[in-house]
Structure 1
Amino acid sequence: MSDEMEFGPNILSLTDEDGNEHEFEILDELDVDDKHYVALLPANEEDFEDEEDDGQLIVLRSEEEDGEEFLAYIEDEEEFNKIAAMFVERLSDEYDFEE
């Protein structure tokens, strides 16, 4: 039995603003400048918003508010581009990314 079959992908369930749950596969995690980032792919086809987003890498930052940890979009474009480039470089051997 292979490791992937034995352990399977690391799946994370997130709830959107409308209360809908979506499952994502955690591809990678990294810490940069005392911040934690996560790279995700939708785990189910129905979690793709539209066909143009199929397979799009999702990069989120871990934040804490009132003692609760949550994942948030990175609103600063420079920060997002820096972190996304790091994930693409780390994952490029396993996945094909389009510009």
Structure 2
Amino acid sequence: MSDQYGSDFISVTDDDGNEFELEHLDTIEYNGEMYMAFLPADMDENNEDYGMIILKVVQENGEDILATVDDDSELEAVYNTFMEQLFSDDEAEE
């Protein structure tokens, strides 16, 4: 993903009503569904507890919303697809 125009940030609210900001890394299509990868915007480089957050774009009442991926095998497959794309982009830049 190109950083030419800067990063994209969104605010999301979890099921408990906690609001937090995420930095959008990339969007991919996998098995006909759209997925978005994020990092917490307040990520501290010294804290390794943070990881990539993958959310699925789903339609609800005619609107696109972001939902968690509850199926572990689906999540793992999408994660691997994001990582393959990330590393192929890095190799293309060299």
Instruction: Classify the TM-score, shorter chain.
Output: 0.7 to 0.9
1:51-62 matches, within 5 Å, as 51-54=47-50, 56-62=51-57
Q: How many residues align?
A: 86
Q: Distance in 2 between matches of 1:17 and 1:66?
A: 18
Amino acid corresponding to residue 38 of structure 1 in structure 2: M
- Identity across aligned pairs (percent)? 38
1:17-96 matches, within 5 Å, as 17-45=15-43, 51-54=47-50, 56-92=51-87, 93=90
Summarize deviations over 1:22-62 as a string: whole Å, max 9, x none. Answer: 1111111011222100011001148xxxx5522x0111111
Amino acid corresponding to residue 53 of structure 1 in structure 2: D
Q: Distance in 1 between matches of 2:67 and 2:41?
A: 18
Offset of 1:9 from its aligned partner? 0.7
Give me the CA root mean square deviation. 2.3
Scaled by the length of structure 2, the TM-score of the pair is 0.76
Gaps of 5+ in 2: none
Amino acid corresponding to residue 65 of structure 1 in structure 2: E
Q: Distance in 2 between matches of 1:21 and 1:38?
A: 18
SS at match of 1:30: strand
Q: Distance in 1 between matches of 2:78 and 2:43?
A: 25
